[in-house]
Structure 1
Amino acid sequence: MKSIYPVFRFRGYLALLLILVLTSCLGSVRKGPTVLAIVNGYPITEADLIYALEIEHRREDLSKAGKIRIRDYVNRLIDERLLVEEAERMGIDKEPWLREKLRAFMVRESVTQLYQDEIASKVKVTEEEARDFYRRNYVVYKIGIIDVPTEKDALKALQEIKDGKDFAKVVNRYSAFKSMNRGGVKYTRRALSRSPEFERIVLALKPGEVSRVHKINNRYYIVKLIEVIKPRMEDFEKKKKAIMRTLRKDKEGALAEKYLKKLKEKVKIKVDKDLLAYIEKDREKKELEHDRRTLAMVNGYTLRVSDFIKQIKELKKPEKLDRLVQRWVDTKVVDVEALSRKYYERSPLKEKLQSYKEQLMRRVFIGTTIVPDIKVDEEALRNYYMKHKDRYRTPAEYKLQRIVLKDRKEAEEVIEELRAGADFSWVAMNRSRGSNARRGGMLNWMQKSMMPEEIQDVIDKLEPGQISPIIKGKDSFIIVKLLDIRGREPRPFEQVKSIVYEQYMNEMVSKKVKEFVKRLRADAQIEVMEDNIRRLQERFR
């Protein structure tokens, strides 16, 4: 069921976009949508602008883009409308493939809305539930493990333990896994739950007790429970969001299973089990690729043998055929219900469909009318490569040392020691709380994108050998030393030729589209409602 219902993860709109949405909704109650421009008699409204901003926000973080210029967005919408009109003149809107794409989009979005209405909106997770989950699943079990390949070795080890020999010495003598090197290994209850057999062994023990011999996956195990460590509730806040996501996912999954079962009672489902058995036996037969017999039906949906064989060939890993058929049935059951709700006849899906249709039309129009006129040769690509050579360098890699400290006071003490000439490695080994403290805080070579964001902001200001100021991390204070930088070598043209081609084509297409739209604007009737745009711009301020 989880694969059928894609969970819509709301990313969060900008505060100013939220203001736009709310005020436009209130305004529409009084006097309808605000028109920002009219292109050959077609109105471009505030709702169109809001949708454009939503799409833009999915591509980039507009909160870092500075002040939004409404006029620029309106101009873009005017250009897009002119391209759609040209696509309509070519008859692209009547193409069968377009109808198929729109139907697939309509089904997908209808299912998403159905999931929101019937599953996501009905699931609530409380903080108390999250706390209870934390108490139960973040208990830490410190255990010793003897892991041997034969039952004979396991029984001998167990007998030595019963005879009073030290568990750690028995581990070192028999076990492949030296679990007692640090006095035992620690697992949270949640980690143990990933191996139910192992979880049962540990939970059956009291601190100090040793289990009997257990066979798991052709290995033999003896477990000693050394200590049970209850979770610190003061650490709950760090885990809270992740726990609430887990609980929501589990609740939604359970509710979705129940809902699917209920939906199946409302539709007619038919699966030809004899035909499925025949396919299971002779799936390699070539004639099955053209077999039009019906394998399964859900209301008006039909799964034909040829389509099913195509699905089998597209599988990345083998799967039982009855499960594959069942998944198709489940999907179609949900599609039937989602389409019966007719979300596509009302907002916001109605507008989304129109926008998606226009987007497809513009792409096809550009691909069939503008792109073929762009000629690309080797010389043009080489010239583009030379002009933008910095784009095609290998990524820079940085060698750093790091000191991680608990509070600012301690960090200020350490930075003073370093400025006074203290050895960074020695200070890291003696003061740092980082996992690499024993190595003098030494980190592996890494690209900037692999660093925490707070370190990325500082690293470009350092020269090799320099030490950073104190950096505020999520729950610590950090000091880094830049040891060296490598990379940034230009890659040969032949190695990046496909990237150069793509970037060159993107720029040329953008240039040609702008030239084409400029000609369209000259012949179009365009009226821009400057007062409405100005009032809208004020709301952004």
Structure 2
Amino acid sequence: MHKKICCLLSLWALCFFLISPPDIYSSDLPPGTAPETVGKDLSPTVQQEQLILLKVPLFSPHFANTPVALVNDVPITLGELSASLKQLDENKKNQEGERTSDYQVVLQNLINARLIDLKAKNTGLNETGAVKSFLVNSPGSHSSDQPQGTPSKAGGKDTSTALQKEQFISLKVPLYSAHFAKTPVALVNDEPITLDELARGLGQMTETETKQQGENAAVYEDALQRLVNTRLIIQEAKNIGLGETSAIQNEIEDFKLTTLRQDLIYKHLEGLEPDPADVENVYQQISREVQLYAITFESGPEAQKFLDEVKDSGFDQLAERYIEEGKAKGKRDEQYVKIKDLRSQIAQKVYSMNIGDVSNVFRTDDGFLLFQLTDSRFVEDEAVKQEAYKIVYDSFRKQKAMEYGNILTEKYVIFDETLYEEIDFNKNFEQLKNDTRILATVKGDEPVTITVADLAKNVDVSFFHGADKAQQLQMLNKKKDIAITNMLFKITAEREARFLGLDKTEEYVTKVQEFENSVLFREFMNKVILPDVKLTPEEVRSYYDAHIDEYSSPAMLRMNSLVFQNQEDAEIALGKLQKGADFKWVSANVSGFVPPDTKGVLPFDEKLLSLTSLPDDLQKTAGVAKKGDSLLYEAPEGNFYYVLLIEDVYPPEPEPFEKARNAAAKALFEMKRKQIVDDWLSKLAEFYAPQIFLTGMDR
């Protein structure tokens, strides 16, 4: 195999490895709906051990693998429990009330059997805390016991007997347990929204949203409702065929292949760590402080002349002469500076210098600079140590990616090196675009060939304005190396990923499914919702007039203040002002003042303040005050009482419509879009009848 191709393959692999997966859900869903998040580790805003309450159908296939108990961390599933209950029903034919009591007995029998089995197998059973039950109560047998939005059959094919229909059980389950990650908390058109998705949805909520609602059931209900709303839109997008166009199918296929190659690179590099000695070596090099003797010249030729002369004389003597003659500026710096704090170009040069070395010339804002390294010393710095690790780590992974690219090429590719060397795109590019000779063959059940024409066309499309100009500049042959590298790596990486079964992993399938959902969601918003959002100039003006306060500057106030520690003193001063006394006279004839520079005293005096900048409780009274009014304000913190005299009031100033038009139009657009989305969601919820199994949280 051509060595150049092997080396270039690794460069493509590195670039590919550095690509981050996209955030695939649109973020512009109006309030009340929420895009899902893919591939993100979202830290929850609630306690990790938080328990939630679910009311789930006893005989639904969707819940067959949901644990109802753990014995030594091994699940007893709802499927096992329901099967045992069915068998009991067949054997005993009890009345309804007796069946309810048998429910608890059956679960305990399953637990006992599991304990006996584990002890017999000598699995190291932990007697303390070995059993965890998530059951809250016995199943109901009437429709009133169903969770919100649940029809008579709670999703999936109903195989139970007539006596077993519509039965639900309540479970108290941990929100962040892997055992329950795939447990449905809702069904939309028989597609589950899982507990794992809910947990990520909670993590996606802003801190403000969480504080506003508190850590209570409303937080969970809101997060789940967002997921349901998103899923309703996705279901409708599927049903009206928004995902069936060739453009959308190509986009999804590109994502699949890109994700496969990414997963392959991540898998190969997972767990690889650089040699600690290499990290230490780089750390010793970059965690240094240096002394520099820097001089600056007005012109580049003068600086170059200095460099030529310094070869035959000492730096100090020559620098002093140039400075004395006015040809340069500078002095020896006795201070040490960390290399990482220098300008990047200078720092890079310093890394390679020894004490006494003189740098090359650098162009700066002050002229042309050069310097001598006069001293250097190592310093311990944890931040620099981490930086050294990253430098070595990135280089190490780059090297491993290069090696892996070469391995894939050797494994899969038959390459015609002689033909490749004959190709000269700089001479006869147009002719080679029709050359069908096979340049490379990628082995497999369905071999893939790359012809000279394939390579030429790939090079052609890489130039924004076509390859004509590049051919004139003799640039095409350089581009062919990169092009063949990319083409081969894309194919070989996909082959290897499928060979390893990465396209069958749960992680990959989930990424693809969620990307498809994101595309459907986006297409629905762009093709169904947004075209119906229409604005007229008259509507924008009416919106502006109705919300004029939003497009006005806040009211402004100028005040004088007297600050007191004692409420009685403050009320005496206030009374005098309200009777018409002059502020200066009052300030000179009452006692109990707190000096204005006292810690914690708010600065109100004689400043022009916006009403919105005042404390919330003061805004209410100051907002209706007139010039000459006096107010008493008790600060919630600091135990101070403020007597305020309103010197001037400047009412809000509306922004002219011409300036506010765009902002008003945008706000109106968002309002109309939200209304259209809400209308759609109402219709879709009625049609698809989402089933919610979340009933609350355990406090």
TM-score range for the pair, normalised by the shorter chain length: 0.5 to 0.7
Deviations 1:411-432 (A, max 9, x none): xxxxxxx9599xxxxxxxxxxx
Instruction: Supply the AA of the counterpart residue of 1:254.
Output: Q
TM-score (norm 2): 0.50
- Say whether residues 1:229 and 2:387 are aligned partners: no
Specify which of 382, 406, 411 is matched with residue 266 of structure 1: 411
Query: Residue 39 of structure 1 corresponds to which residue in structure 2?
Result: 188
Residues 455 and 483 in structure 2, CA contact (< 8 A), matched pair in contact too:
no
Superposed displacement of residue 168, structure 1: 3.7
Specify which of 655, 675, 684 is matched with residue 520 of structure 1: 684
Gaps of 5+ in 1: 395-417, 422-458, 462-487
Residues 144 and 224 in structure 1, CA contact (< 8 A), matched pair in contact too:
yes
Specify which of 146, 149, 165 is matched with residue 301 of structure 2: 149
Specify which of 79, 89, 100 is matched with residue 250 of structure 2: 100
Query: Residue 324 of structure 1 corresponds to which residue in structure 2?
Result: 482
Backbone CA RMSD of aligned residues: 5.0
Superposed displacement of residue 377, structure 1: 2.1
Cα distance in 2 between the residues matched to 1:200 and 1:214? 13
Residues 188 and 689 in structure 2, CA contact (< 8 A), matched pair in contact too:
yes
Query: Residue 452 of structure 1 corresponds to which residue in structure 2?
Result: none
Residues 161 and 170 in structure 1, CA contact (< 8 A), matched pair in contact too:
no
* Number of aligned residue pairs: 430
2:375 is paired with a residue whose SS is strand
Distance 1:139 1:513, change over 3 A: same
Deviations 1:68-112 (A, max 9, x none): 722222222322333233223222343322321222222222233
Gaps of 5+ in 2: 1-10, 22-38, 53-62, 69-73, 78-179, 443-447, 554-595, 600-612, 616-651
Query: Residue 225 of structure 2 corresponds to which residue in structure 1?
Result: 75
1:98 is paired with a residue whose SS is helix
Specify which of 484, 488, 508 is matched with residue 349 of structure 1: 508
Instruction: Supply the AA of the counterpart residue of 1:373.
Output: D
1:5 is paired with a residue whose SS is helix
Query: Residue 285 of structure 2 corresponds to which residue in structure 1?
Result: 136
Distance 1:226 1:27, change over 3 A: farther
Instruction: Supply the AA of the counterpart residue of 1:308.
Output: V
Superposed displacement of residue 228, structure 1: 1.8
Query: Residue 139 of structure 2 corresponds to which residue in structure 1?
Result: none
- Say whether residues 1:180 and 2:327 are aligned partners: no
Q: Percent identity?
A: 16
Query: Residue 574 of structure 2 corresponds to which residue in structure 1?
Result: none
Distance 1:201 1:3, change over 3 A: closer
Deviations 1:406-465 (A, max 9, x none): xxxxxxxxxxxx9599xxxxxxxxxxxxxxxxxxxxxxxxxxxxxxxxxxxxx999xxxx
Query: Residue 4 of structure 1 corresponds to which residue in structure 2?
Result: 16
Cα distance in 2 between the residues matched to 1:374 and 1:361? 19
Cα distance in 2 between the residues matched to 1:275 and 1:460? 78
Query: Residue 13 of structure 1 corresponds to which residue in structure 2?
Result: 42
Residues 44 and 199 in structure 2, CA contact (< 8 A), matched pair in contact too:
no
Distance 1:116 1:389, change over 3 A: farther
Superposed displacement of residue 516, structure 1: 1.2
Instruction: Supply the AA of the counterpart residue of 2:194.
Output: T
Query: Residue 424 of structure 2 corresponds to which residue in structure 1?
Result: 277
Specify which of 394, 414, 428 is matched with residue 249 of structure 1: 394
Cα distance in 1 between the residues matched to 2:253 and 2:685? 32
Residues 344 and 353 in structure 1, CA contact (< 8 A), matched pair in contact too:
no
2:187 is paired with a residue whose SS is strand
Residues 83 and 517 in structure 1, CA contact (< 8 A), matched pair in contact too:
yes
Distance 1:369 1:19, change over 3 A: same
2:18 is paired with a residue whose SS is coil
Superposed displacement of residue 339, structure 1: 4.1
Residues 134 and 243 in structure 1, CA contact (< 8 A), matched pair in contact too:
yes
Cα distance in 1 between the residues matched to 2:211 and 2:275? 32
- Say whether residues 1:239 and 2:384 are aligned partners: yes
2:464 is paired with a residue whose SS is helix
Matches within 5 A, 1:280-359: 280-281=426-427, 299=442, 300=448, 302=450, 303=454, 305-313=456-464, 320-329=478-487, 331-332=489-490, 333-359=492-518
Cα distance in 2 between the residues matched to 1:104 and 1:15? 32
Cα distance in 1 between the residues matched to 2:550 and 2:436? 55
Cα distance in 2 between the residues matched to 1:335 and 1:199? 44
Matches within 5 A, 1:205-216: 205=355, 209=356
Cα distance in 2 between the residues matched to 1:312 and 1:512? 43
Cα distance in 1 between the residues matched to 2:253 and 2:50? 27
2:293 is paired with a residue whose SS is strand
Instruction: Supply the AA of the counterpart residue of 1:80.
Output: T
Matches within 5 A, 1:370-519: 370-384=529-543, 419=597, 501=665, 503-519=667-683
Cα distance in 1 between the residues matched to 2:439 and 2:669? 46
Superposed displacement of residue 119, structure 1: 1.2
Residues 87 and 93 in structure 1, CA contact (< 8 A), matched pair in contact too:
yes
Query: Residue 454 of structure 1 corresponds to which residue in structure 2?
Result: none
Residues 8 and 116 in structure 1, CA contact (< 8 A), matched pair in contact too:
no
Cα distance in 2 between the residues matched to 1:158 and 1:38? 80
Cα distance in 2 between the residues matched to 1:44 and 1:228? 61
Instruction: Supply the AA of the counterpart residue of 2:397.
Output: E
Cα distance in 1 between the residues matched to 2:313 and 2:198? 77
Distance 1:376 1:116, change over 3 A: same
Residues 294 and 304 in structure 1, CA contact (< 8 A), matched pair in contact too:
no
1:365 is paired with a residue whose SS is helix
Deviations 1:458-498 (A, max 9, x none): x999xxxxxxxxxxxxxxxxxxxxxxxxxx99987667766
TM-score (norm 1): 0.62
1:43 is paired with a residue whose SS is strand
Cα distance in 2 between the residues matched to 1:92 and 1:374? 19
Instruction: Supply the AA of the counterpart residue of 2:479.
Output: L
Looking at secondary structure, tell me which structure has more helix per residue. Answer: 1
Residues 107 and 338 in structure 1, CA contact (< 8 A), matched pair in contact too:
no
Distance 1:15 1:46, change over 3 A: closer
Distance 1:267 1:525, change over 3 A: same
1:13 is paired with a residue whose SS is coil
Cα distance in 2 between the residues matched to 1:254 and 1:294? 33
Superposed displacement of residue 519, structure 1: 1.6
Cα distance in 2 between the residues matched to 1:215 and 1:97? 54
Cα distance in 1 between the residues matched to 2:547 and 2:414? 59
Distance 1:331 1:495, change over 3 A: farther
Q: Which structure exhibits the higher relative contact order, with contacts defined as CA atoms closer than 8 Å and separated by 6 or more residues?
A: 2
1:265 is paired with a residue whose SS is helix
Specify which of 229, 247, 261 is matched with residue 111 of structure 1: 261
Cα distance in 2 between the residues matched to 1:186 and 1:201? 16
1:92 is paired with a residue whose SS is coil
1:228 is paired with a residue whose SS is strand
Superposed displacement of residue 518, structure 1: 0.4
Superposed displacement of residue 227, structure 1: 1.9
Superposed displacement of residue 524, structure 1: 3.2
Residues 414 and 441 in structure 2, CA contact (< 8 A), matched pair in contact too:
yes
Larger Rg: 2
Distance 1:131 1:522, change over 3 A: same
Cα distance in 2 between the residues matched to 1:342 and 1:352? 15
Query: Residue 455 of structure 1 corresponds to which residue in structure 2?
Result: none
